[in-house]
Amino acid sequence: MNIISLLFGKPYRANRLFLFIYWFVIAFYFVGFVMMISLIVMTGEWLFIIPLVIFPLLFRIVYKLNTFIYQSISNQKDHSPLKKKWIMIGSAFVILMITFPILVFIFSDNVVTNVSNTNVNGEIELSIGSVKGIYEIEAFQLEESINDVALLPYEAFVREGSFLLFLEHNGEMIWSEEVSGNHSGEMAIELREGTYRIKLESKEAKGIVINLSLN
């Protein structure tokens, strides 16, 4: 048994449409596979591997189910051409629909490349080759509220374009600053119980460097 049959199951060769769909989807998968691996290497985001793992299993289940339905109808005495036609159309539609997760990942508007993000004792050093969309820099949590205000100093640089540096508390934006060129400042936050997330967002920016202190 070759690797394709192992991953996707055997093709249904008795029908040309099913055979075409089988090889079309597999070809599409391997094109997506190459693109996904490239994204993983560039961004370091291993979540991109999830659809690559799940897709063959989903395809195998749906393809097997639809060929079973088609065979069941073909073996009945009522060989209605119209009934067969709609079953085949429905089968093709369902099989092609399971390619949607890969399309979402491949053509996502949220792409970040060449990321290096380190946090040593609260001192964050981030560099990004290019960003389009949102990138989370750091997240931290306070177990209880503190009657105090913290000032988090930062330095930021962007070679091309601009980006919005912002801070969220429990999903609500509480501080933001537009960054273009060289910029430095402080994030002033009231220390309250909950989760804080430092993020940046850009339509498209290149050559980003951020140094941030959480101490």
Q: Does 158 have pLDDT greater than 90?
A: yes
Q: Report the pLDDT value the prediction gives residue 165, as an integer from 0 to 100.
A: 96
User: In which band, very low, low, confident or very high, does the pLDDT at 207 lie, cut at 50, 70 and 90?
Assistant: very high
The Cα–Cα gap between 177 and 206 comes to: 17
At 83-120, the pLDDT tens digits run 556 566 665 665 555 555 555 555 556 678 788 899 99
Report the pLDDT averaged over residues 34-59. 72
Q: Report the pLDDT value the prediction gives residue 146, as an integer from 0 to 100.
A: 83
Name the more confident of 150 and 68: 150
Report the pLDDT averaged over residues 53-61. 81
At 20-33, the pLDDT tens digits run 888 888 888 888 78
Name the more confident of 124 and 19: 124
Q: Does 53 have pLDDT greater than 90?
A: no
User: In which band, very low, low, confident or very high, does the pLDDT at 172 lie, cut at 50, 70 and 90?
Assistant: very high
Report the pLDDT averaged over residues 40-57. 70
Report the pLDDT averaged over residues 183-191. 91
Q: What is the rounded average pLDDT for all residues in the chain?
A: 81
Name the more confident of 195 and 55: 195
Name the more confident of 201 and 104: 201
Q: Does 126 have pLDDT greater than 60?
A: yes
